[in-house]
Amino acid sequence: MKFGKAQIHDLPIRDITTLGAYADQLQLEYQTRNEPFPPAARLHIGEPDFRTPEHIRQAAIESLATEMQTYGAAAGRPWLRELLAEKIARVNGYRIQPTHTAIGMGGTGVIQATLLATVGPGDEVLLPDPCWPHYTLQLAACGATGVPYPLDPQNEWLPDLERMEQLITPRTRLLIINSPGNPTGTVFPQSMIQQLLEFASRHDLYLLSDECYDQMIFEGQHLSPASLLSTAEFEEGRVISAYTFSKTYAMTGWRLGYVAASTQMIKTITDVLNAGLTNVSTAIQRAGAAALTGPQECVAMMREAYRRRRDLAVSLLRDFDRYVYTPHGAFYVLIDIRQRNGEPRDGREFALELVRQCNITVTPGYSFGAAANDYVRVSLAADDKAVERGVREICRLANL
């Protein structure tokens, strides 16, 4: 039997989507039998619960009505790339030319293109533990191997540089960092970003900075590694930054992301994008332009809602004696579900029981890496009532 590449086929199934499907099936069964079942609270998916703002939607509609939807440049339309360079200067703190950017299908698409442009079979990539599970899938598609470096829950889920040094081998080619982080919500301070830059330089590594939550900051400041580089250092091509419209503007399904890198690195990434998708549609790019040039109150409104829900979750965790740390960005919180005596608890079984008893879905921490085995991830991209009920029930079940 043929089934394709084993390193892809044999990847473990993740529970981020399967638990949601199970919960929906269970709810339907209760409804079919006319039996009572608690209302649903879906806290497992990292997707904004807000509709894409009106002015963004209208820009796409207008483009479809008035413009030819033809092939375009693989790196994106020049007018959007100009706006991206302006946004990066305004938000991320470093100045580049529009030609230093390329547009792809979401943050996922530009990260995949970057990995295909930089690593391959036999190469090793340092990736955070816990982390967004797609990194593992993307590396498998490249033929490269992920080597997890643990984040420390006792130090607000920051990396330990000494432990990272021990993971370097002659095969190590690239370091992935993610701040604000998924699933932790951690925002790296400047000192940590500087140390990671020095680490990558010392070991001659590419540094891929996943900054898809760059405008979802509650305290402190998001710092792009590229903002600490001189123009000459940026042009060396070591640092590559990935961004997306998905989280900032509630545009997950639009699939619009972008990458910033040196002149020569962008050329390579653009070739990969060209091979894989040719170009992102003009209408979607017009929507992106409207997002960048239109009113930004929508971003502040969504960020404030996530901050309010973060505060609610943290307050409840303190009340139930389950507090570990405070996430300062993104819209997630990891909740420790170990037993009172410190004994571990099966995260998947805990999540299944939460569905069966309460019709609440969360993601078991092991889906993000071994360092989060004793946690579940709650997405704050749900309404306040769902977040409050979800955190209360998680704590109640964990405290039994």
Span 254-277, pLDDT tens digits: 999 999 999 999 999 999 999 999
pLDDT of 19 reads: 83
- What six digits make up the tokens of 344? 């571990």
| Mean pLDDT, residues 145-149 | 98
pLDDT of 35 reads: 87
pLDDT of 307 reads: 98
Q: Which of 232, 261, 293 is the last residue of a domain?
A: 293
Asked if residue 389 is part of any domain, the answer here is yes
Span 40-54, pLDDT tens digits: 899 999 999 999 999
Asked if residue 114 is part of any domain, the answer here is yes
Q: Are residues 304 and 378 in the same domain?
A: yes
Q: Are residues 73 and 17 in the same domain?
A: no
pLDDT of 261 reads: 98
Asked if residue 76 is part of any domain, the answer here is yes
Label residue 30 by pLDDT band (50, 70, 90). confident
Q: Are residues 206 and 99 in the same domain?
A: yes
| Mean pLDDT, residues 57-63 | 98
DSSP character string of 307-352: HHHHHHHHHHHHHTT-------BTTEEEEE---TTS----HHHHHH
Look up residue 180 and give its DSSP letter.
S
Q: Are residues 221 and 166 in the same domain?
A: yes
Q: Which of 293, 326, 344 is the last residue of a domain?
A: 293
Cis amide bond preceding 78, omega within 30? no
Q: Which of 260, 293, 326 is the last residue of a domain?
A: 293
Percent of the chain's residues with pLDDT above 70: 100
Q: Are residues 58 and 47 in the same domain?
A: no
With b for 16 or more beta-carbon neighbours within 10 A and e for fewer, the 183-203 pattern comes to bbbbbbbeebbeebbebbeee
Span 214-251, pLDDT tens digits: 999 999 999 999 999 999 999 999 999 999 999 999 99
Q: Comparing 64-68, 339-343, 387-391, which segment has the lowest mean pLDDT?
A: 339-343
Q: Are residues 145 and 226 in the same domain?
A: yes
Asked if residue 1 is part of any domain, the answer here is no
pLDDT of 281 reads: 97
CA-wise closest residue to 223 among 179, 254, 284, 257: 179
C-alpha span between 270 and 117 (Å, rounded): 9
Instruction: Quote the pTM value.
Output: 0.95
Question: Do the beta carbons of residue 363 and residue 377 sit within 8 Å?
Answer: yes
Q: Are residues 223 and 134 in the same domain?
A: yes
Q: Are residues 279 and 392 in the same domain?
A: no
Asked if residue 355 is part of any domain, the answer here is yes
C-alpha span between 317 and 315 (Å, rounded): 5
Q: Are residues 233 and 366 in the same domain?
A: no
Q: Are residues 272 and 389 in the same domain?
A: no
Question: Do the beta carbons of residue 142 and residue 301 sit within 8 Å?
Answer: no
| Mean pLDDT, residues 184-204 | 98
With b for 16 or more beta-carbon neighbours within 10 A and e for fewer, the 360-391 pattern comes to bbbbbbbbbbebbbbbbbbbbbbeeebbbbbb
- Domain range spanning residue 307? 6-51+298-398
CATH number for 119: 3.40.640.10
pLDDT of 12 reads: 80
CA-wise closest residue to 366 among 383, 380, 392, 345: 345
Asked if residue 100 is part of any domain, the answer here is yes
Asked if residue 199 is part of any domain, the answer here is yes
pLDDT of 388 reads: 97
| Mean pLDDT, residues 281-301 | 98
Q: Are residues 377 and 276 in the same domain?
A: no
pLDDT at 341 over 90: no
pLDDT of 8 reads: 87
As beta bridge partners, residue 5 has none
H or E stretch including 288? Answer: helix 282-293
Question: Do the beta carbons of residue 344 and residue 387 sit within 8 Å?
Answer: no
Q: Are residues 324 and 222 in the same domain?
A: no
Percent of the chain's residues with pLDDT above 90: 88
Span 69-113, pLDDT tens digits: 999 999 999 999 999 999 999 999 999 999 999 999 999 999 999
The total domain count for the chain is 2
C-alpha span between 148 and 100 (Å, rounded): 30
CATH number for 382: 3.90.1150.10
Question: Do the beta carbons of residue 49 and residue 371 sit within 8 Å?
Answer: no
CA-wise closest residue to 307 among 395, 169, 171, 187: 187
